[in-house]
Structure 1
Amino acid sequence: MSHQPTPFDRTALLDDFSIEVTARDGDRLTEAASSLPTGTRVNITALGTEDPTARLALAASAHRAGLTPVLHLAARRLADEQELRSELQAIQDQGTSSHVVVVGGDPRKPVGPYDSALSVMRTGLLAEHGVRDVGISGYPEGHPDIPRAMLAQALTDKVALLESQGIEATVVTQFSFDVDAVLGWVERVRDLGVEAPLRVGVPGPTSVKRLLAFARRCGVGTSAGVARKYGFSLGNLLTTAGPDAFVSALGERLEAGRHGDVRIHLFAFGGPVGTAAWARDYLAG
């Protein structure tokens, strides 16, 4: 008897999608809130150049607007345990600690005792401060400094540790332009026995020039062939590119039974207003 794959509704990718912003997007996120479904996860990045109080204020604003703020904690930027406790206590006090993302962070050398996201998770302080769901990083196109085997081991270690602490894990990926790379990565993750929800990172609509700048910064591949598949031309940097073709192609090739819970995570490189409008129009269309 032949195997009949369970079809994956491509609109399901944008059912409960998430969006990623920076503290600088405060006013624009307020404007975008009316276009975002109630409860939408809003990841707020931890940039070393931003004021931490601005990120806290944005999380509180998102919470008041009926959204779910997800603050990033950058392990290698934490000076000591007291700073970690203070950050967690601050978000717990304002009722925004249920969801966080824990990343290693930009500095190659840690400023304190935490050299990785896993080292922060091992403290046990997340559950103590009301964290129920932790976002962890995924890399469909690999990482320039970390071998694939080490990435796989870190992923399984984090998921197992969080499970032992009674915390749910959500894997949020670096953005990609390559559907083949994403599908291959999803299958490898499932083959590892990781059943956690996966949120595949894609850029919201923005200029091609801006897209390429972020791609270079993040080490994401942008060959001419992949760019054409994604839907933009490397020969015209002034045009705007959106993820329509990528999302449609990914949705058509996913199988619910094989690939599990997969959603879209939109990086608001062009701003939260345009990103929210894109998601609304894609679902309507």
Structure 2
Amino acid sequence: MLSSSRIKDCHSSRSQAVDKLIDRLRAEAKANGGIVSVLKSACFIVFYILLGMCFGIEMDEETVEKMDPITKNVLITLDTRINDFLPILRPVIGEQLKRALQVRKQQVHAVVTNTTATVLEWGIAQLIHNPDIQSKLFDEIKSTVATGATTVGGFNIPIDPNLEIFFPGITEDPKIWSNPEKFNPADRFYLGKKDADITGVTMVKMKPFGAGTRICPGLTMATVHIHLMLARMVQQIERTSYPPNSNIDFSGKFEFTVVMSNTLKARIKPMGGIR
């Protein structure tokens, strides 16, 4: 449940939960003259997110509030059968140890929710104490996360559009790549020392697998397979065009991906006497 892939899968649930957090704070402020308890709402939302990750369903707020004491009681009342794991301790396990284990179970529940919520509370407290930093953070978020119509590169972007990125505009841009139309990977990447971060983390110059939260999950597997197959084919087989002396058509057409307009055919023979 705590793997990075599982956490990414729960993006939608987290987004809904954060919306609920803002709604709860606004409702509490409206009912209390603008005053809110940050920790209480934060604990609730963290628990809300964890329930969604555990059970895979969205629960209403009333159900979540009922689940909180239930999970605490389950942890407290379950009899920890430590003597099943360490039989040697069976004669010496007493009430004191059992009480200690019950306290530990309560601590586990607190660790799951309170740690994250407490960090949030401390962070908000610091922002209140340092309004200049709060203002700078707001400006940074506003400039990074579009909340309405915005402008990117001189183009007006409306709310909720479907945007398609024209990748050749990046991969064939002479401002980014020298001689981008020329196939010369050794001079470009090895000797030229140009960066080619295909994950898009450090910069967006190549995006064969996409980038960000929607990056292809098969990136690692695909690159391993491509490297292995290409290296073995180059090692073992020499290829020439077919028909002989013909020019290869590098035009493409769109299917599920962009494929060669004319399927490649090649004449092959063992490379350098290797059989």
Q: Answer 1 or 2: which has greater strand percent.
A: 1
Higher relative contact order (CA 8 A, sep 6+): 1
Q: Which has the larger radius of gyration?
A: 2
- TM (normalized to structure 1)? 0.23
